Amino acid sequence: MPTIIPFRVCILLAFYFLLSCQEKHPPSKSTLPKEIVSQNPQKSKSQLLDSLFTTHKEYISFQFDFPVGKPTSKGYYNAQKFRENDHLGEDWNGVGGGNSDLGDPIYSISNGYVYSSKNIDGGWGNVIRIIHSYKNAYYESIYAHCDTIFIKEGQFIRRGEKIGTIGTANGTYLAHLHLEIRDSIFMNIGAGYSADSKGYINPTEFIKTH
Protein backbone atom coordinates (compact mmCIF):
# COMPACT_ATOMS: atom_id res chain seq x y z
CA MET A 1 0.00 0.00 0.00
CA PRO A 2 2.19 2.86 -1.23
CA THR A 3 -0.26 5.55 -0.03
CA ILE A 4 0.24 4.65 3.64
CA ILE A 5 3.77 6.06 3.94
CA PRO A 6 3.02 9.55 2.60
CA PHE A 7 -0.04 9.66 4.83
CA ARG A 8 2.08 8.83 7.88
CA VAL A 9 4.66 11.39 6.82
CA CYS A 10 1.90 13.98 6.55
CA ILE A 11 0.69 13.19 10.06
CA LEU A 12 4.26 13.44 11.39
CA LEU A 13 4.86 16.75 9.59
CA ALA A 14 1.59 18.15 10.95
CA PHE A 15 2.62 17.05 14.44
CA TYR A 16 6.05 18.71 14.20
CA PHE A 17 4.45 21.83 12.76
CA LEU A 18 2.09 22.04 15.73
CA LEU A 19 4.97 21.54 18.15
CA SER A 20 7.08 24.23 16.47
CA CYS A 21 4.20 26.73 16.78
CA GLN A 22 4.07 26.32 20.53
CA GLU A 23 5.86 28.70 22.83
CA LYS A 24 9.37 27.55 23.70
CA HIS A 25 10.49 28.77 27.07
CA PRO A 26 13.94 28.04 28.53
CA PRO A 27 14.41 27.86 32.30
CA SER A 28 15.22 31.11 34.09
CA LYS A 29 16.29 31.54 37.71
CA SER A 30 13.74 33.09 39.97
CA THR A 31 14.36 35.16 43.07
CA LEU A 32 13.46 38.40 44.85
CA PRO A 33 15.17 41.62 43.69
CA LYS A 34 18.92 41.63 44.48
CA GLU A 35 18.75 44.76 46.69
CA ILE A 36 16.08 43.20 48.93
CA VAL A 37 18.07 39.98 49.28
CA SER A 38 21.42 41.73 49.90
CA GLN A 39 19.92 44.01 52.58
CA ASN A 40 18.60 40.98 54.46
CA PRO A 41 21.16 38.20 53.95
CA GLN A 42 19.99 36.25 57.00
CA LYS A 43 16.38 35.90 55.84
CA SER A 44 14.92 33.25 53.55
CA LYS A 45 12.85 34.28 50.55
CA SER A 46 9.57 33.50 52.30
CA GLN A 47 10.66 35.34 55.47
CA LEU A 48 11.48 38.34 53.30
CA LEU A 49 8.06 38.21 51.68
CA ASP A 50 6.37 37.89 55.07
CA SER A 51 8.11 41.03 56.31
CA LEU A 52 7.42 42.92 53.06
CA PHE A 53 3.67 42.29 53.35
CA THR A 54 3.66 42.89 57.13
CA THR A 55 5.03 46.39 56.57
CA HIS A 56 2.76 46.98 53.53
CA LYS A 57 -0.55 45.53 54.71
CA GLU A 58 -2.49 47.74 52.29
CA TYR A 59 -1.17 45.58 49.44
CA ILE A 60 -2.58 42.31 50.77
CA SER A 61 -5.12 40.87 48.31
CA PHE A 62 -8.84 40.59 48.97
CA GLN A 63 -10.17 40.23 45.43
CA PHE A 64 -9.00 39.15 41.95
CA ASP A 65 -10.06 40.54 38.55
CA PHE A 66 -9.27 39.59 34.96
CA PRO A 67 -6.13 41.28 33.58
CA VAL A 68 -7.80 42.39 30.32
CA GLY A 69 -11.15 44.13 29.89
CA LYS A 70 -11.17 44.56 33.68
CA PRO A 71 -12.80 43.46 35.82
CA THR A 72 -14.73 40.86 33.77
CA SER A 73 -12.60 40.36 30.58
CA LYS A 74 -15.23 42.12 28.46
CA GLY A 75 -14.04 42.40 24.84
CA TYR A 76 -11.55 39.55 25.19
CA TYR A 77 -11.63 35.77 24.91
CA ASN A 78 -9.46 32.94 26.11
CA ALA A 79 -8.06 31.34 22.93
CA GLN A 80 -6.14 28.52 24.60
CA LYS A 81 -7.46 27.36 27.92
CA PHE A 82 -5.59 26.04 30.94
CA ARG A 83 -4.47 22.41 30.34
CA GLU A 84 -5.57 22.52 26.67
CA ASN A 85 -2.57 21.07 24.74
CA ASP A 86 -0.77 20.86 28.14
CA HIS A 87 -0.93 24.67 28.33
CA LEU A 88 0.01 25.94 31.80
CA GLY A 89 -1.74 29.27 31.37
CA GLU A 90 -4.40 31.02 29.32
CA ASP A 91 -4.01 33.01 26.09
CA TRP A 92 -6.11 36.17 26.19
CA ASN A 93 -6.99 37.84 22.88
CA GLY A 94 -9.17 40.76 21.83
CA VAL A 95 -12.41 39.77 20.11
CA GLY A 96 -11.22 41.75 17.04
CA GLY A 97 -8.73 38.95 16.29
CA GLY A 98 -5.23 39.15 14.75
CA ASN A 99 -3.12 41.95 16.17
CA SER A 100 -6.13 44.18 16.92
CA ASP A 101 -5.30 43.88 20.64
CA LEU A 102 -1.63 44.89 20.23
CA GLY A 103 -0.89 47.64 22.77
CA ASP A 104 -4.09 47.11 24.78
CA PRO A 105 -3.67 47.61 28.55
CA ILE A 106 -2.90 44.76 30.95
CA TYR A 107 -3.95 45.23 34.58
CA SER A 108 -2.72 43.58 37.74
CA ILE A 109 -5.27 40.94 38.77
CA SER A 110 -4.91 41.96 42.41
CA ASN A 111 -2.80 43.84 44.95
CA GLY A 112 0.71 42.47 45.17
CA TYR A 113 4.45 42.78 44.96
CA VAL A 114 6.32 42.88 41.63
CA TYR A 115 9.33 40.67 42.06
CA SER A 116 10.31 40.37 38.43
CA SER A 117 9.68 42.57 35.40
CA LYS A 118 11.99 42.02 32.43
CA ASN A 119 12.61 40.56 28.99
CA ILE A 120 13.22 36.82 28.98
CA ASP A 121 14.62 35.17 25.86
CA GLY A 122 13.23 32.16 24.11
CA GLY A 123 9.65 33.03 23.27
CA TRP A 124 8.67 34.69 26.55
CA GLY A 125 9.37 38.32 25.66
CA ASN A 126 8.64 40.87 28.40
CA VAL A 127 7.36 39.10 31.49
CA ILE A 128 5.87 40.51 34.70
CA ARG A 129 5.72 38.31 37.83
CA ILE A 130 3.62 39.50 40.77
CA ILE A 131 3.28 37.83 44.17
CA HIS A 132 -0.08 38.10 45.93
CA SER A 133 -0.62 37.59 49.64
CA TYR A 134 -4.14 36.25 50.09
CA LYS A 135 -5.59 34.66 53.24
CA ASN A 136 -2.16 33.76 54.63
CA ALA A 137 -1.08 32.04 51.39
CA TYR A 138 1.00 33.27 48.47
CA TYR A 139 0.02 33.17 44.81
CA GLU A 140 1.89 34.35 41.76
CA SER A 141 0.48 35.86 38.57
CA ILE A 142 2.55 35.94 35.40
CA TYR A 143 1.89 38.18 32.38
CA ALA A 144 3.94 37.23 29.31
CA HIS A 145 4.74 38.48 25.77
CA CYS A 146 4.09 42.12 26.84
CA ASP A 147 4.73 44.89 24.32
CA THR A 148 5.47 47.46 27.03
CA ILE A 149 6.09 47.15 30.76
CA PHE A 150 5.17 50.07 33.04
CA ILE A 151 6.35 48.72 36.39
CA LYS A 152 9.66 47.86 38.03
CA GLU A 153 10.67 44.92 40.15
CA GLY A 154 10.56 45.63 43.86
CA GLN A 155 7.44 47.81 43.73
CA PHE A 156 4.03 47.20 45.25
CA ILE A 157 0.96 47.33 43.06
CA ARG A 158 -2.80 47.78 43.38
CA ARG A 159 -5.50 45.58 41.86
CA GLY A 160 -6.51 46.99 38.48
CA GLU A 161 -3.36 49.09 38.05
CA LYS A 162 -2.06 49.23 34.48
CA ILE A 163 1.18 47.22 34.41
CA GLY A 164 1.88 46.79 30.69
CA THR A 165 0.41 46.27 27.24
CA ILE A 166 -0.41 43.21 25.13
CA GLY A 167 2.39 42.24 22.77
CA THR A 168 3.81 39.68 20.39
CA ALA A 169 6.99 38.64 22.28
CA ASN A 170 9.05 40.63 19.76
CA GLY A 171 7.10 39.36 16.76
CA THR A 172 7.07 35.70 17.78
CA TYR A 173 3.25 35.37 17.91
CA LEU A 174 0.10 37.23 17.03
CA ALA A 175 -0.49 39.60 19.94
CA HIS A 176 -1.96 37.96 23.04
CA LEU A 177 -1.49 37.86 26.80
CA HIS A 178 -0.20 34.56 28.21
CA LEU A 179 -1.48 34.57 31.80
CA GLU A 180 -0.42 32.07 34.46
CA ILE A 181 -1.48 31.80 38.08
CA ARG A 182 0.59 29.63 40.39
CA ASP A 183 0.00 28.50 43.95
CA SER A 184 3.68 27.66 44.25
CA ILE A 185 5.77 30.82 44.06
CA PHE A 186 9.40 31.29 42.93
CA MET A 187 9.34 28.34 40.52
CA ASN A 188 11.42 28.75 37.38
CA ILE A 189 9.61 30.45 34.54
CA GLY A 190 9.20 27.01 32.98
CA ALA A 191 8.14 26.09 29.46
CA GLY A 192 4.57 27.37 29.30
CA TYR A 193 3.49 23.83 28.40
CA SER A 194 3.79 20.61 30.38
CA ALA A 195 1.77 17.52 31.21
CA ASP A 196 2.81 18.18 34.83
CA SER A 197 0.74 21.12 36.11
CA LYS A 198 1.84 20.91 39.75
CA GLY A 199 2.09 24.46 41.15
CA TYR A 200 -0.14 25.93 38.43
CA ILE A 201 -3.83 26.71 38.82
CA ASN A 202 -6.68 27.47 36.41
CA PRO A 203 -6.63 31.29 36.08
CA THR A 204 -10.26 31.80 35.04
CA GLU A 205 -11.55 29.46 37.72
CA PHE A 206 -9.41 31.16 40.38
CA ILE A 207 -10.32 34.73 39.35
CA LYS A 208 -14.05 33.91 39.19
CA THR A 209 -14.07 32.33 42.64
CA HIS A 210 -11.82 34.92 44.33
Question: Interface residues with Zn ion (CB under 5 A)?
Answer: 91, 178
* Closer CB to Zn ion, 122 or 154, in the complex: 122
In angstroms, the first-to-last Cα distance of the chain is: 58
Residues 6+ apart with CB under 8 A from 90: 78, 80, 81, 82, 178, 179, 180, 203, 204
Q: Which is nearer to Zn ion, 24 or 43 (CB)?
A: 24
Shortest separation between residue 210's beta carbon and Zn ion, angstroms = 21
Q: How many residues does the chain have?
A: 210
Q: Which is nearer to Zn ion, 25 or 70 (CB)?
A: 25
> Is the distance from CB of 102 to CB of 175 less than 8 angstroms?
yes
Residues 120, 70, 161, 44, CA torsion sign: negative
Q: How far is the CB of 150 from Zn ion (least distance, A)?
A: 21
Opening angle at CA 180, ends 204 and 91, nearest 5: 70
CB of 131 to Zn ion, least distance (A): 21
Q: How far is the CB of 85 from Zn ion (least distance, A)?
A: 9
Q: Of 52 and 175, which CB lies nearer to Zn ion in the complex structure? A: 175
67 contacts: CB under 8 Å, gap ≥ 6: 92, 106, 107, 108, 109, 141, 143, 177, 179
Q: How far is the CB of 176 from Zn ion (least distance, A)?
A: 7
Smallest gap, in angstroms, from Cβ of residue 141 to Zn ion?
A: 14
Q: Which residue, 132 or 178, is less far from Zn ion as judged by CB?
A: 178
Residue number, nearest CB to Zn ion: 178
**Class of residue 9 by CB neighbours under 10 A (exposed 0-12, middle 13-18, buried 19+):** exposed
Q: Which is nearer to Zn ion, 159 or 178 (CB)?
A: 178
Q: Pinpoint the alpha helices (H) of the chain.
A: 4-21, 34-39, 45-55, 203-209
